[in-house]
Amino acid sequence: MSRPEPVTQVKRRRDLALSMIVSQVPYIEFLGVRFDRHGDELTATMGFHEALIGNPMLPALHGGATAAFLEITAIIGLAWSTLWDDIEAEKLDVEAVQNGALVLPKTIDFTVDYLRTGLPRDAYARARVNRSGRRYASVHVEAWQDNRDRLFAQASGHFLMPQSHG
């Protein structure tokens, strides 16, 4: 019977995989989005900064920034869930990913529901993959600020999954 892998190695591998996935989308850094990982669950945080304000009279988060935040969360969440088994089995080819071989899902359509004004503060989001097949995936994303039960936006999207050429 083999000994289980030390938890520090597991965490390091998961964190490395997540940072490699996130690094594929430069806009994530521009928006100031970061991803916190707890096991296989990701929570995205868009830290507030003045450039995110769309209506300074209210002030309110820009709808485009909100939509981009939700779409980014959906894509990264979908890629994370798709690669999870490879990450856990230590089959993720780190060198290939670092050389640009990782292809992220492509958006087919994405619909955002703006439920209330996004306030000038940090925003959080989580994606739930409803269906993920070889060619197509469906994802739902929810975003909140101060209270997880009071969403300020949600979205649903369909994505074209990358085709492996192996």
Give me the amino acid identity at 62: H
Q: Is residue 166 over pLDDT 60?
A: no
Q: Is residue 165 over pLDDT 60?
A: no
- 1 falls within a domain: no
Tens of pLDDT, residue by residue over 32-47, are 999 999 888 999 999 9
Cα–Cα distance, 130 to 91 (Å, whole number): 25
Token couple for 55: 């209506």
State the residue for tokens 């969360």. Answer: 73
- 104 falls within a domain: yes
- 165 falls within a domain: no
Q: How many domains does the chain have?
A: 1
Domain that holds residue 21: 7-160
- 27 falls within a domain: yes
Give me the amino acid identity at 148: R
Kindly report the backbone phi and psi dihedral angles of residue 76, in degrees, each rounded to the nearest multiple of 5, phi listed first: -65, -40
pTM: 0.90
- 166 falls within a domain: no
- 60 falls within a domain: yes
| 166 in Cβ contact with 103 (< 8 Å) | no
CATH code (residue 100):
3.10.129.10
